[in-house]
Copies of this chain bind each other. A is one copy, B any other.
Amino acid sequence: MPNRAEKLEWDDARASPARAELVDAALAIAGEAGLDAVSIRRLAGRMGLRTMSVYTHVASKDDLLALMFERISAELIVPTPLPRDGRELLRLIAQRAFDAYLAHPWMLHAFGRRPATGPNQLRRAEQSATAVKSLGIETAKAWTALSIVHEWTMGHALHAVTLREDTALNERLHATDATNYPNAAQALKGAQVRPAQAIFEEALDGVLDGIEKRFGPHADPDDRA
């Protein structure tokens, strides 16, 4: 019973065992050649199938993409027992996401599409909400605080991946016209040496500082850092 046209069955086992292998193969293609290389025909070829047979197990390419996303989202979940400290948990969550994005850059290109809301994504949301709660942030602002961490992590990973994959861009940036854009050129020069992971950790601390300061208990909204 592969699928009605209704909702996506997230559980591979409940859908069909073959579907899991399909997602495996799709992930392999994406890892080797990028998300654009994941086509139904190529996927069929790799599985020894004939293009249209893929649709026996997957309703559409969108669904396939959602399943790929959900699969990798398992890597985003922090293993229990979770640390008591909310800040520490939040840091772990962000770190896992950042690592996953660097390991599977295609995820970043998939964010704009039909957003996935599989069980793993929900589990992650639960962990995140738990962390924010234990920071003493009130419910009304919890989601805002959360989104700062998540969205910044994604943005930072996208930036890092773009620079990693486009060395030409990197050179171009560091040859920025220092006459017309003095401050930009200077900032870019200063950014050159440091590894992405170090920058991430440092910036993450900055982001967490801001969250605790502005959304945490005893926060003074009018205060400046």
CB of A53 within 8 Å of the partner chain:
no
CB of A176 within 8 Å of the partner chain:
yes
CB of A42 within 8 Å of the partner chain:
no
Q: Which of A26-54 contact B (CB under 8 A)?
A: none
Partner among B146, B183, B206 whose Cβ is within 8 Å of the Cβ of A148: B206
| Chain B binder among A9-17, A56-64, A68-76, A129-137 | A129-137
CB of A225 within 8 Å of the partner chain:
yes
Q: Are A214 and B206 in contact (CB under 8 A)?
A: yes
Which residues of B are found within 8 Å of A147, using beta-carbon distances? 155-156, 159, 199, 203
Which residues of B are found within 8 Å of A96, using beta-carbon distances? none
Q: Are A216 and B225 in contact (CB under 8 A)?
A: yes
Copies per assembly? 2
Interface size on A, residues (CB 8 A): 75
For residue A94, give the distance in angstroms from its CB to the closest CB of chain B: 12
Residue of B nearest to A190 (CB): B139
For residue A116, give the distance in angstroms from its CB to the closest CB of chain B: 10
For residue A109, give the distance in angstroms from its CB to the closest CB of chain B: 4
Known: A139-B186, A150-B155. A209 touches B214 (CB 8 A): yes
Which residues of B are found within 8 Å of A148, using beta-carbon distances? 152, 156, 203, 206-207
Q: How far is the CA of A193 from the CA of B153 in the complex (A)?
A: 25
Q: Are A187 and B225 in contact (CB under 8 A)?
A: no
Known: A117-B173, A147-B159, A203-B148. A126 touches B184 (CB 8 A): yes
Task: Name A residues whose Cβ lies closer than 8 Å to a Cβ of B.
Answer: 87, 108-109, 111-112, 114-115, 117, 122-123, 125-126, 128-130, 132-133, 138-148, 150-156, 158-159, 162, 166, 169, 172-173, 176-177, 180-184, 186-191, 193-194, 199, 202-203, 205-216, 221, 224-225
8 contacts between A and B (CB under 8 A): A108-B112, A109-B112, A117-B172, A117-B173, A130-B183, A143-B187, A151-B154, A212-B225
